[in-house]
Amino acid sequence: MAVELDSLNEMIREKSGFLDDLKAQVSRVIVGQKKMVDGMLIAILCRGHALLEGVPGLAKTLSIHTLAKTMDLDFRRIQFTPDMLPADITGGEIYNARDGGFEVRKGPIFANVILADEINRAPAKTQSALLEAMQERQVTIGGQTFPLPEPFIALATQNPIEQEGTYPLPEAQVDRFMLKLKIEYPTREEETQIVNRMATGSIPEVKVAATGEDIAAAIKVIEQIYIDPKIIEYIVNVVDAGRRPEKYGLQIAHLIQYGASPRASIFLTKAARARAFLQRRGYVTPDDVKTAGMDVLRHRIIPTYEADAENYTSEDIIKTIFDNLEVP
C-alpha cells in the first residue's frame, strides 16, 4: 500500500500543478473568499453543482466568471426572472419558413459553466428546466436528446434576505446541488483591498491557468485517492446520525424534520477526496470529511418548527453531530 500511495502522491503532485497558478489568477480579481473558491473547485473536480447563498455585492457572479476564465471554459450567465420560460434556458424548436419545418435552437445551458443567477426568482416550472441537465448531463428538446459539453457545472446564486417575489427551491432540486456555499462578508482589511482594487472601475485581466484536459486528468486522479473503510463508515455514521440521532446518543431528534439521503454520503465521500487533492494528498483524513461536511449537509438536513423557534439551524445540528460522533 505504501508503494501505491507514493505513486499516487507523485501523480497528484503532477496533476495538481495548475492549482497554485489558478488560485493566483483568481486572487488578482477576487479578494479573500478562499472558502468559496475552494468550494467551487471541489464542485468542478467532482463533476457536481453548487448553490451559492449570500447577500448582494459579495462577488458571487464575478468569482464564477473569473474561475471559468482561468480554466478556459465556455461560460454563460442566465438571469432568472419571474417571467422566464423553460425554453429560455434549454432552447426549443423554431419554425423555419424557408424549409417549412422545425429546427432545434439550443439555449444558453449548452456551456461548460452555467451561472443561474438568482435562481429563486423564477417559478418552479422554470427551475425544473435545470433538473435533467444537472442529473443526466443532457437536455431533451422536441423529443431529441442532446448531451451537454464536458465538463458541465451549474452554479446557482440566491439572496437569503429578500424573499418578496421569490420562489423557494423544491427540496428535490436543492438535493441535486452537491454543495451549498454560504458567502460571508469580507474582513475590514479585505474590504480595504477591494476598494483600492475596484474603485478605479477596471477589473484586472486573468490568464488561462488550466484547460478542460487538466480538469479531466485531475478528476481521474481524484477518483483513485485512497479512503480507508473506517473513514467511509464515519461518513455513513455522520449522515445516518442526521436521521436517527438517538442511535448515536444524540438528543436532537425533536430538532430534525428530515435527514439527508444517501446522495449526501456519496457527495461527502467525493468532496473529501477532492479536498485531499487540493491539499496534495493521496489519502482522505477525518478532517477532510469535517471540512467538507458543512457544505454538503447544510441544505439536506431540514430542521423542525421547534428548532426554528429555538433559533437552532441545520448548521447547529451538523456541528452537534460532528462534535459528538467518534472519529476514526
Instruction: Express as a percent the part of the chain with pLDDT over 70.
Output: 97
* Distance in angstroms (rounded) separating the CA atoms of residues 167 and 125: 10
Q: How far is CA 73 from CA 15, 112, 149, in A?
A: 18, 6, 10
pLDDT digits (tens, 9 = 90+) for 41-64: 899 999 889 999 887 777 788 888
- Where on the phi/psi map is residue 326: left (φ > 0), alpha (ψ -120 to 50), or beta? beta
* Grid coordinates given for 180: 451549498
pLDDT at 35 over 60: yes
Inter-axis angle of helices 212-222 and 34-45, nearest 10: 80
* Angle at alpha carbon of residue 227, lines to 280 and 288, rounded to 5°: 55
Selected residue with higher pLDDT from 301 and 131: 301
pLDDT at 327 over 80: yes
Q: How large is the C-alpha radius of gyration of the chain?
A: 21
Q: What is the arithmetic mean of pLDDT over 272-287?
A: 92
Task: Identify residue 79 by its one-letter amino acid code.
Answer: Q
pLDDT at 3 over 50: no
pLDDT at 287 over 90: yes
- What local confidence, expressed as pLDDT, does residue 166 receive? 73
Q: What is the arithmetic mean of pLDDT over 210-236?
A: 90
pLDDT digits (tens, 9 = 90+) for 124-172: 888 888 888 888 888 888 788 889 988 898 998 887 766 666 777 777 7
- What local confidence, expressed as pLDDT, does residue 94 receive? 81
pLDDT at 15 over 50: yes
Selected residue with higher pLDDT from 27 and 49: 49
Domains and their CATH numbers in the chain = 2-214 (3.40.50.300), 226-324 (1.10.8.80)
